[in-house]
Structure 1
Amino acid sequence: MAALLSAAAVIAAGAGGALWYHAVLAPHPQPSRLLLAPMIGVVDSCIAPAGGKAPLPTSLVQACLKPDGSAGALVESTLSALDSRSPSSSGRSSYELGYTLAVPLLALFQQVDGHWRIDEARLRHIVNTVRDVRRPVVLYLFSTHFAADAPIEEELAREPGNLAQTQQGTLERDRYYDSYIYPWSVASTRNTLTARRAEAMQAVLDAACRLEPDIRERIRAVTLLGEVHQLFPRFQDGMGYESAYRISDYSSVSVQEFREFLAKRWRHIDRLNRVLGTDYRTFDEVDPPSKDIRTQRLTRFADHIDPYAHGRLPVAGWAYVADAPHGYVPRVHVYLDGHAVARAHVDLDRQDVLAARPDFAGATTGWRTDLDLRRLAPGLHRLDLFLEDRPGHLVALGQREIALMTRDQRPPARHAQRALPAATPSTQAPQVHFHVDSPRDQSDYYYNPLATLWHEFRAQQVLRYLAYFSAQVQRSCLADVPRYTHQIVPFANPGWDGTRFAIEDSLRPPAGLNLGVSLYGEAAFGNSFSRWLRRTGTARYGITEFHPLRAMDPQALDQAFQRHARQGAQFLSFFLEPEWQGERVPRGHNLFSFDPQNREFGSDVLYRSVGQLLLRGAPVNRKPSPP
């Protein structure tokens, strides 16, 4: 056990030591007004309309596709419907209105005489949009696992080197609602997929650099690729802990680079063996962990992997207090063997709970904290959970017994228990509704230090892939335009297993690349993302997608927007359906679009609230952010 604790300490120190790579972000001067940059679907509805859909208005086609045309008129038509301010009054608002121009990189290719070439006319129409819209723009260079309906995608998907591989082989094409998901690999930049992305990105950069300097200055930010992370099967619902644990990337390239990563870190195989408790003769013998000790035969213990093998155990669930004091956020207290070890605010988003219990006041009923198994002694431990439903008053939520197993799987010995605090039984607290999702009672866990190193390496692959394209923009005339990622935040979803994404390093990008983040649900307006910003010291970011998944009146939405502005947000983007001459353009509409005709998640109310905020010349009755 001492060896395992030593291994945990060494690995933790190694991960912490790597933080020298990340920039320490000093406070940045904030813009005088927050830039609202809605993302309008103009390429598929104007510049490259998809076949098989309702015909577009003739006047729109003419504006978009004439030789020197662009989507500019469509952008202005859409924004004017949202923003009815006169040009002279818009400067008095708390918000500046621009737009996000999404450029689907792979959709720029067309096949000519059996070869893939950049469609210069399509590219010209896209870049001309920047010329024709006299507003600030966020240039979104989009190419991620979400399909772009580009003909070249099918050909790229036939090359194994472009596809992510799990322990059980190459991932198959998947679906997310009505979109196809291609299992593109981020394990290597030396494949055809990356080359095509880079080719298209360079064409866009070159075209943007041919714009007049005063027009080019409208580009306020460049966002890179979109969601970039490792992949897993069942993309729509397979991110939780109950799904089969299949993760990327186990390709031969990835395995070999993992060995090189270990050799660079430990230099001699004996040092790695001391940390892992293994007997490898060379680094070339090391394979990434890929089997579950419970169901598969291992060659050695270091082969083991499951959602918890890296040493983190989520303790999570949901709770709702019917008569909670106004403004009070309940907290869950976690005791391990009678010792207080953690507490968690009940303020995370649980849309599933709201769907089952619409009588609850909102979806912020989730809670989660993670236990560090690396620092626990083997044996049978008891978890006791209490809800502080009002200040100083505890309600007992229940107990869970968990076994931290040894490598030889000998029966675990029970640990001594300390006395617990006084608490009301949940059966005597009818105002409290709850469920403890994890851990399961009588569950067992096996900490494997090699799994920790494997996830660290996978996270570096994600960051390296983003850095490759950031460097490409750095070499262009847009080098001085702030660059942002376009990432998700798994930690805001209490039921998600973050190891499946391996996204954490890219949430703290290196110097020259800023955090761009998509915020949905509670993360868009609540405390969890604010706590993360303070904990990580992140002082500058962009919001690449925003939707609170609930209706918000102008005052509530203004408070959310201004909170982000105070925290360092430079721009905020949300989906907006294109509108032409008072009518929505026929296309596949986005489920999360702010749209007067979209009642999903209160999107119609959000659209109207944004419009009212733009009309107002001053912020609406702001209150300070809660701690």
Structure 2
Amino acid sequence: MAVRPSLSPKLPHSLLIAALAAAAALPLAALGQKAPPAMLVAPMMGLDPCWVPVTGAAAQQADTAAMIRSCNPSEGSAGPLVEQTLAGLLPANGRSRSFELGYTLNVPLLTLFTKQGEQWKLNPVFIEHIARTVRDTKRPVIVYLFSTHFSQSAPIEKALAADPANLGWTPKGPLGEGVYYSAPIYNWTFADTDNGITRRRVEAAQAVLDALCRLEPAARERIRGVTLLGELHHLFPDFEAGMGFDRPYLVTDYSATSKQNFRAFLRQRFGTIEKLNQAVGAGWKSFDAVEPPSKNIRSEPLKGYTEHIDSFAHGFIPITGWAFDPKATTARPGHVRILLNGQRVARIAIDQSRQDVLAALPQLGSANVGWRYDLDFRKLPYGLHRIEVLLEDGANKPILLASRQVAIMDRQQSTPKPQPQAQGPATRPLDAGTRAHVDVPADLSSYFYNPLVPLWHEFRGQQVVDYLLKFNGALKSCLDATVPRFTHQIIPFTNPGWDHTKFAIEASLKKLPGVGMGVSLYGEPTYGTSFSDWLRRNRPGPYGITEFHPLKTLAPAELGKVFRTHARQGAQFLSFFMEPRWNGHRTSRHINLFSLDPENKAYGSDKLYEGVRAVLADPKAAAGLPLLPAPAPAPAAVRRPVAPAVTAPLVPAPAR
């Protein structure tokens, strides 16, 4: 399983912290138009040291007394801390010829509330501090209005979570507080907007936008974009490890409001209950009798077949695994063939990220060993079918990785009969020298197609879209005419081991009215072809990269090529995590596992930090050209040794 960062700041009241360079026949200046800015590189750093400064040797080396004075809550801002952090990549007086350097200002919305008596009120000190940070930082900024299921360590969270109307519901009831690698998770609902969590989000976000509008025009012009909420998708129990296919299928949202809205969705789609019954094979007397699918036919009694749901009931079997091909390259990956009853149905590239495999077998040297094919079984005849997976080996016979029987079941659960088999190609058996495994499907597993399930998933996906659009529409500001807004979503379908139906996020990645796509990219989608191919198929328009980490070292020339590729594809900005620094010294207590930082060796993050510096400073690196070796440094003067700064250990990161 790939890995993901936690977005939750560790301290209460934390303040964590463009256009396509497309070729044209004539320069824009020659046409009398203003040329668009280059893609904005906008790292996001935690600004906790402004509120609870570090102490000890690290504070002495960084001279944090000056930082504390600049962060004065009543008059100061985090602007100087932001500037000192960014100066490590490119000084304020420096200029990048290919990209702009700015920052992402993370605004955890729920931390802006404090309790006054029996009421929760917005704290104007926090809000004005945010606005002054934009005022005092003379760099372009992406303002991130952050409120998602990851805890913000905000006192109001417990109060909101006590009301079931604020929580997502599985068939078993409200989904209570969870844990994600020791950090709390609050499973907020978005099936309804008439609740406390939505009202508080809108109230806080609107107050921040109002404060930004009170700034002078020159400061407002530095705001290049606003991103909304953070990753918004449906939820499920055991969020830490429940993304795959091996857990009971419990997802949101089964609240009374959600069920009623599902019935309205079906009524609008089919018009009459007779047409719905004909489409799904049911016998309901009215739309009011319809219940969304919520039970597993293998383990729970059903009142009717349309109650069945699991990871496969929408009609597709994921055939997924991993294989290492030592001859493969990024440009020419290896391939597996999928055979059904002896006949080839697919040839799949081995190019998806499997960080779990690389962690277990670091000698492979690459995480891009994953593959997946979703087999449509909706029209297959009932019975036993044979699935075979073959690993290609050049001119040699392909290697048989697995042969699995699967049962396509009817509604009566009749005993499945073997299906006719064609003569497949000659193969050779898997030997000890071949590193590969087929994870899913299991041998003799059973599959039931319920035609109501695709409609339920479509409705759930529309719930994500509707909430984003309603939240976006509720916010009005002076920035609306000039500053674009973006979502901040993930792409679960690039992880071959994840069940993307649990998230129901795909509809929110399409082109939406009034809000652009923001997406977090980790591993192969940052530098490989999967995300670029998806962009070409779906054409969502200009986009933002809200989080970025290749999860491996890239040379400056490679990183420059990646940046330019995203800029050409339409990326307006590219954000990644950084650690705050003062006088060159890190001021955070812990290092985010995915921060690009000189002290963070995880996933080559220290090398990537240096790569970003090179890309911003050197046109050749930005163009994706190999760099000449740096000149040998002159002998350094002998200095008295200085005690090293106390470096906090890396915080274990959650798995994405």
- Give TM-score scaled by structure 1 length: 0.90
Name the residue aligned to 1:310: 314
Residues 70 and 294 (structure 1), Cα distance of their counterparts in 2 relative to 1, 3 Å cut: same
Counterpart Cα distance in 2 of 1:217 and 1:392: 62
Q: Higher mean Cα deviation, 434-443 or 580-589?
A: 580-589
Deviates more, 1:269-278 or 1:502-511: 502-511
Letter matched to residue 246 of structure 1: L
Distance 1:245 1:533, change over 3 A: same
1:251, 1:400 → 2: CA distance? 39
Matches of 1:497 and 1:49 in 2, distance apart?
Answer: 40
Are the equivalent residues in 1 in contact too, given 2:210–2:477 (CA < 8 A)? no
Asked whether the 8 Å contact 2:54–2:589 carries over to 1, the reply is: no
Partner of 1:79: 86
Structure 2: stretches of 5+ with no match in the other structure: 1-19, 25-34, 627-656
**What displacement does 1:212 show?**
1.8
Corresponding position of 2:546: 544
Does the C-alpha gap of structure 1 residues 115 and 268 become closer, same or farther in structure 2, counting only changes over 3 Å? same
What residue is the counterpart of 1:468 in the other structure? 470
Of 278-287 and 60-69, more deviation after overlay is shown by 60-69
**Superposed, which structure 2 residues align to 1:182-581 within 5 Å?**
182-324=186-328, 327-390=331-394, 394-427=398-431, 431-473=433-475, 476-581=478-583
Unaligned segments of structure 1, at least 5 residues: 1-24
Give the deviation of 1:587 after TM superposition. Answer: 3.4
1:100-119 to 2 correspondence within 5 Å?
100-119=104-123
Is the contact made by 1:321 and 1:431 (CA closer than 8 Å) also made in structure 2? no
Cα distance change of structure 1 residues 623 and 493 upon mapping to structure 2, 3 Å threshold? farther
Q: Distance in 2 between matches of 1:243 and 1:228?
A: 22
- Report the Cα offset of residue 588 of structure 1: 4.2
Alignment correspondent of 1:40: 45
Partner of 1:155: 159
User: Is the 8 Å Cα contact of residues 78 and 579 (structure 1) preserved in structure 2?
Assistant: yes
CA contact (8 A) 2:294 2:307 kept: yes
Q: Percent identity between the aligned chains?
A: 49
* CA-to-aligned-CA distance 1:200-237 (integer Å, 9 cap, x gap): 01101111111122221111111100010111111111
Quickly say closer, same or farther: Cα 1:167–1:132, change in 2 above 3 A.
same
Q: CA deviation at 1:564?
A: 1.2
Aligned 8 A contact 2:390 2:398 in 1: yes
CA distance in 1, matches of 2:113, 2:244: 36
DSSP-derived class of the 1:374 partner: coil
Give how far 1:143 is off: 0.5
> Which residue pairs with 1:14 in the alignment?
none
Moved more, 163-172 or 471-480: 471-480
Structure-2 separation of matches of 1:157 and 1:28: 50
Q: 1:100 to 1:391 in 2, by over 3 A?
A: farther
**8 Å Cα contact 2:46/2:578 also seen in 1:** yes
Number of aligned residues: 592
Q: Shift in Å at residue 66 of structure 1?
A: 4.8
Moved more, 165-174 or 124-133: 165-174
**Preserved CA contact (<8 Å) 1:28 1:568:** no
Partner of 1:58: 65
Query: Helix, strand or coil: the match of 2:378?
Result: helix
Report if the CA contact (8 A) 2:614-2:621 is conserved: no
CA–CA distance in 1 between the matches of 2:565 and 2:494?
17
Amino acid at match of 2:168: A
Return the alpha-carbon distance in structure 1 between the equivalents of residues 608 and 96 of structure 2.
22
> What is residue 14 of structure 2 aligned with on the other side?
none
- TM-score (normalised: structure 2): 0.86
**Closer, same or farther: CA 254–615 of 1 in aligned 2, 3 Å:** same
Instruction: State yes or no: 1:124 paired with 2:124.
Output: no
Contact 1:310 1:452 in 2 (8 A): yes
Aligned to 1:131, what secondary structure does the other structure show? helix
Moved more, 148-157 or 588-597: 588-597
Distance change in 2, residues 1:433/1:39 (3 Å): same
| Change in CA separation of 1:195 and 1:313 when aligned onto 2, cut-off 3 Å | same
Which letter maps to 1:381? Answer: H
Q: Which digits, 9 at most, give the CA deviation of each residue in 1:551-606, with x for residues without a partner?
A: 22212211221221121111100001111122211334322111111122211111
Q: Distance in 1 between matches of 2:294 and 2:81?
A: 50
Deviating more after overlay: 124-133 vs 323-332:
323-332
| Structure 1 residue 475: Cα displacement | 5.6
- The residue that corresponds to 1:11 in the other structure is none
User: CA offsets per residue over residues 111-161 of structure 1, 9 Å max, x none?
Assistant: 123211111111001011111111110010000011111111111011110
Q: CA deviation at 1:539?
A: 3.8
Would the aligned equivalents of 1:330 and 1:390 in 2 still touch at CA under 8 Å? no
Q: Provide the residue aligned with 2:168 in structure 1.
A: 164
TM-superposed CA distance for 1:389, in Å, is 3.3
Alignment of 1:86-97 (within 5 A): 87=93, 89-92=94-97, 94-97=98-101
Distance of 1:333 and 1:474 partners within structure 2: 52
In structure 2, distance between residues paired with 1:290 and 1:259: 15
Shift of 1:355: 1.2
Counterpart code for 1:192: G
CA distance in 2, matches of 1:568, 1:184: 32
Structure 1: how far apart are the matches of 2:537 and 2:467? 25
